[in-house]
Structure 1
């Protein structure tokens, strides 16, 4: 007897669904390569916004850019759907582990849906500024009862995600989800993964710190998205070098995502 759960599992295991999800990893890689390139440009005195909005602005300005934005949206929506399916269709007898497993995949799916929605907005001719959204969110939260505490919690949560990326990179925990080739190809992909995860973790953690600063100073304009976090790194001693290294790491993370499309276990 075919049940809805069995039908969903069959759809998840179909070659078409898996292929679309793998496209999601490819377009995620493209976005990170562009964001990393913008960060390097900022570090060397150039301009641009080193976040999803800035990357999509650049993509839209290229020939066939609108088509690529539609592909980005489709691929990331498919990847998000695969993450949700992975959360609920995998069997795990350990209840505590099962809910941790679900939370991880659902959280990742939400992030992919948000980026896909941004790509859709740009494909339709609109714009989306992550820094403005972050500042508006911070202002509304600060105006609420207990808003300072809540904004600190948000900032610490974002910083914790960044630290988790760094730990995942240093420990090479991502390897267990990949069927990698042997030899130099394996070493190269793993090296890209280590550098990429650490760089992305630093950028995300810096973004979280800005939310905490916004709460402590009662200044929502201090908060911002990924671009603000990266620009904050530029304000550190040897900031231009730090930002360049992190930008290069984001490019490597993008290349790792492209490789992940081929070697991820799905």
Structure 2
């Protein structure tokens, strides 16, 4: 992996720092849902932004968080444009990964925009219905059902990529190993594996919701993070499953903190 200019590293570090805050707070909200009456409707990115804003100097902190998310968006687009991961453009899998990096940037741009709406006091719709609303809008078109199905399959593929990372630990290739002590490497590997597993579980459920919505031509079957957590809660040992996912999200946030400091760019 070729090293990029210093400013690129700064942008990437700011982005991963913002992801650290997002995942740690989401994980804590999920853990609160598992051990108390704190409802899963609070486990949304919008609620993270609102919680940050409600703190002392909250507007300043939220502004910094939004800037970090914008930096992560730019970093994802730079990864795609500059091929920072040294992807082989004659390899179909690597081509798909490069496209994914760009799409990931688009998604995080949406998250940053949501944070900006909270910062400015603009009212947003309930987070739980956003997936249903988007699916219903897409299904109004002739090709909408196929597109919703394609979204579901794409999310499922992404979920299994998370499980692959968790199983192989291949994400460790991204790090500057000479700057990490043996204990830090062990912590990074453990946090990454558990964090990727938790993300994989959630993405399997979300991808399944979209696939079912397309199969049944029913937008109400689509769902996002809230619906995934509610589904986990309804299972046997649901509270334990919910707590495990929450802990996994916190650990993924810790993993992102190591990325912010030690990732090769």
Whether the TM-score (by the shorter chain) exceeds 0.5 is yes
Instruction: Find the counterpart in structure 2 of residue 13 from structure 1.
Output: 5
Which runs of no fewer than 5 residues in structure 1 stay unpaired?
A: 1-8
1:5 counterpart residue number: none
CA distance in 2, matches of 1:148, 1:100: 23
Task: Report deviation, 1:127.
Answer: 4.0
2:250 maps to 251
Equivalent position of 2:90 in the other structure: 96
Query: Given that residues 155 and 208 in structure 1 are in contact (C-alpha distance below 8 angstroms), is that contact kept between their aligned partners in structure 2?
Result: yes
Q: Quote the offset at 1:94 in angstroms.
A: 4.0
- The equivalent residue for 1:136 is 133
1:78-119, Cα deviation, whole Å (9 max, x unpaired): 222122222222386943246345213212212221221111
Alignment map for 1:1-266 (pairs within 5 Å): 13-15=5-7, 17-44=8-35, 45-47=37-39, 48-90=41-83, 94-97=88-91, 99-128=95-124, 129-180=126-177, 181-266=180-265
Q: Provide the residue aligned with 1:3 in structure 2.
A: none
Q: SS in structure 2 opposite 1:96?
A: coil
TM-score by length of 1: 0.87
Q: Which moved more, 1:227-236 or 1:90-99?
A: 90-99
- Matched-pair contact (CA < 8 Å) for 1:234–1:242: yes
TM-score by length of 2: 0.87
Q: How far, CA to CA, are the matches of 1:229 and 1:93 in structure 2?
A: 33
- In structure 2, stretches of 5+ residues that fail to align are none
Distance 1:89 1:255, change over 3 A: same
Deviates more, 1:178-187 or 1:191-200: 178-187
CA distance in 2, matches of 1:199, 1:28: 15
Maintained 8 Å contact 2:11/2:75: no
Greater relative contact order (Cα < 8 A, sep 6+)? 2
In structure 2, the residue corresponding to 1:75 is in which secondary structure? helix
Change (3 A) 1:94 1:32: closer
- 8 Å CA contact 2:83, 2:98 repeated in 1: no
